[in-house]
Chain A
């Protein structure tokens, strides 16, 4: 039946000027595509340069750290080959001394020492003090070093160096989830009194989820009201919803402190109305409660706006139709209106959740003991401890969690089911 010698007519259809129609169409489309692409180029470049590149470069630090390997060139290859079950050799001690002399001269000893110290507390002063005297040491170096500080004879010092010497390492990611990488390549749980990150990740999840749920519960009726009021009134109310955006986050958070603190407005009212006694006022701030209240308030507009814009598109006739068919007001709302507002809940929920999961100023100010979140610790390692590798690893883990939740959302609800307006 099929004549294989005949070419596909679709491919050979000529345009009026004799060129192939497909080719011609392709060229025309290409031109319009290029023009469209040209419009987004400035933004694309900005995003790549100011966002994507720094983020990727920073995240690379989660698995890449050459502080040791680039500054300790002699001992690094030996450490890599060394079997951590065996004793370090004299040769390795000699290489170590050579490297210590070099790092003292080029002033990189501080960085190396800090780096190793993150594996084993106390090694920082071990390195810096030894480096000051390294130039005067004589062979045999093993005995010489141990005579300065006995820690040089301890195997755990060398294990810490072996881990620190690895340029590409999973040590930071392991630490971000409360595990530790051992010198023999195995992983083990960190000591119990130093396991903090998993607790924090879970707490961050918990706070974000509760804030999102509170946002839905509080924001839904407001959005519903806004969407069903006459335009004049709803515009006015919408301004009230947006009003907080005109105030700095810091001011709003501080206002909550004045409201919620022990001697604050709310507790004073509780005392006046006899809900609390003056001696036992409620702890509403500097804890998780404070974080939840302040974050819910600050993020509420991000829930209301998508909800409002979705509700605005739901024709009132749906509910009228349901009522005319015999549905009570509640049934009409629940089985007809609500399902159609789900895209708004989805959009608002994702927006609030993603903002909440990386919230940082508010928990820092009102979080107190049990209301701080993972981003506060990322900040701590960024600014105070300067352990940028660990900060990057924690950021990476957070990113993976968010992506996983996003994937989960797509599977369960469907990402198409999200509408911002």
Chain B
């Protein structure tokens, strides 16, 4: 993205590698630019290297090779406490022996700020997260959500331009988590800070981020906006990891511009959008989102036979497991609309999808 030093991005990972034991690379050749004011999420399964990247940015881990630049300056050799980066931890890391107010005052005190300034800033930060009345409480007297707000306020109270969040909502229940997601999003927008957010929850990443970097095996698989990522996954891992996905394994028979003709493992042939399936004779994975499958024929789309195996009622939609092209793990989501089609288990139906919704990815 960025090219010259003059208008380089706010945070730059430049060919960063990390190894703990000198044998295995946990992070392999990471390049990532984050613009000022951006909300970037590092998403990936555990062990994918996302947290290591965050820790290198915070200064708690050193990069084995490559440089990390903040605001144009290499920060590899700057200790964490001189980086001025705010951080929110998974377990909040609120100091149990201090009150909420003291917790917030801590970063200001180590900066030798005057008492009245500290008081004003602490009050403002607490009000921002609607915790103004809790300054005298101890963290142990707060609920999980309240502790999370305090942790957030503490990371923001010293006006850090960059705030790192390491799975901050992991310990909250679903409802509270969703609520906090919006709140963090709003704070990000209001303050104009840059946020680097780590999570393994893809829906959380989709909700909050400007861009998402999908990590797997120490490598960024795809860096894109949520929509791009969901609609146009770049490879099979991303397609599988983001949202729900039906996969069909096969071999490319022929390439025709944007289209690929694929012979599936059960012998049938399907036409798909060629994304990165390479050329003929390559193994490929076809990806079809469950909500993009139609029941019955539609226009001149090619139909295929399917057998209904199982129906699960989920309120807003119905999940239907079907046997399609020799696999019985094929999922179709039927919206619970006024006029939706009623299926019964064991029934044989025709299904079809837009050729562009069937993406031929790497094998």
Which residues in A have some Cβ–Cβ distance to B below 8 Å? 315, 317-318, 320-329, 331-332, 335-336, 339-340
Q: Which residue of B58, B60, B89, B110 contacts A326 across the interface (Cβ within 8 Å)?
A: B110
Least distance between B295 CB and chain A CB atoms (Å): 50
Give B88 Cβ to nearest chain A Cβ, in Å.
9
Contact of A318 among B85, B90, B93, B111 (CB under 8 A): B93
Instruction: Return B8 CB to nearest CB of chain A, in Å.
Output: 24
Whether B91 pairs with A317 at a CB distance below 8 angstroms is yes
- Does B84 count as interface, using CB distance less than 8 angstroms? yes
Q: Tell me which residues across on chain B come within 8 A of A323, comparing CB atoms.
A: 59-60, 79-81
Q: Which 7 A-B pairs have the closest CB atoms?
A: A325-B107, A321-B93, A324-B87, A317-B93, A323-B80, A339-B97, A317-B89
- B96 contacts the other chain (CB 8 A): yes
| B154 interface residue per 8 A CB criterion | yes
Q: A323-B81, A327-B107 provided; 6 other pairs, C-beta below 8 A?
A: A321-B87, A325-B155, A326-B82, A329-B79, A329-B81, A340-B97
Number of interface residues of B (CB under 8 A): 27
Chain B's nearest CB lies how many Å from the CB of A131?
71
Inter-subunit contact B95/A318 (CB<8 Å) = yes
13 examples of A-B residue contacts, CB within 8 angstroms: A317-B89, A320-B89, A323-B79, A324-B81, A324-B83, A324-B164, A325-B87, A325-B106, A325-B158, A326-B111, A327-B81, A335-B106, A340-B97
Give B69-109 as 1s and 0s: 1 = Cβ < 8 Å from A's Cβ atoms.
Answer: 00000000001111111110111010111000000001100
B96 touches A326 (CB 8 A): no
CA distance A366 to B62 in the complex (A): 51
On B, residues with C-beta under 8 Å from A are 58-60, 79-87, 89-91, 93, 95-97, 106-107, 110-111, 154-155, 158, 164
Given A318-B93, A320-B87, A340-B97, check contact A325 B60 (CB 8 Å).
no
Q: With A317-B89, A340-B97 in contact, do A322 and B60 touch (Cβ < 8 Å)?
A: no
Q: Please determine whether A320 and B81 come into contact, CB atoms closer than 8 angstroms.
A: no
* B334–chain A nearest beta-carbon distance, Å: 45
Chain B: minimal CB distance from A398 (Å): 34
Compute how far the CA of A410 lies from the CA of B337 in the bound complex, rounded to whole angstroms: 67
A336 near B158 with CB under 8 A, answer: no
Which residues on the A side are within 8 Å of B89 (C-beta)? 317, 320-321
User: Closest residue of chain B to A320, judged by CB?
Assistant: B60
Q: Which B residues are CB-close (under 8 A) to A327?
A: 81, 106-107, 110
Q: With A339-B97, A340-B96 known to touch, is A326 a contact of B84 (CB < 8 Å)?
A: yes
Complex CA gap A326/B108 in Å reads 8
| Contact call B93/A326, Cβ cutoff below 8 A | no
Q: Which residue of B is nearest A335, CB measured?
A: B106
By beta carbon, the residue of chain A nearest B166 is A317
Tell me, in angstroms, the Cα distance from A315 to B151 when the chains sit together: 15
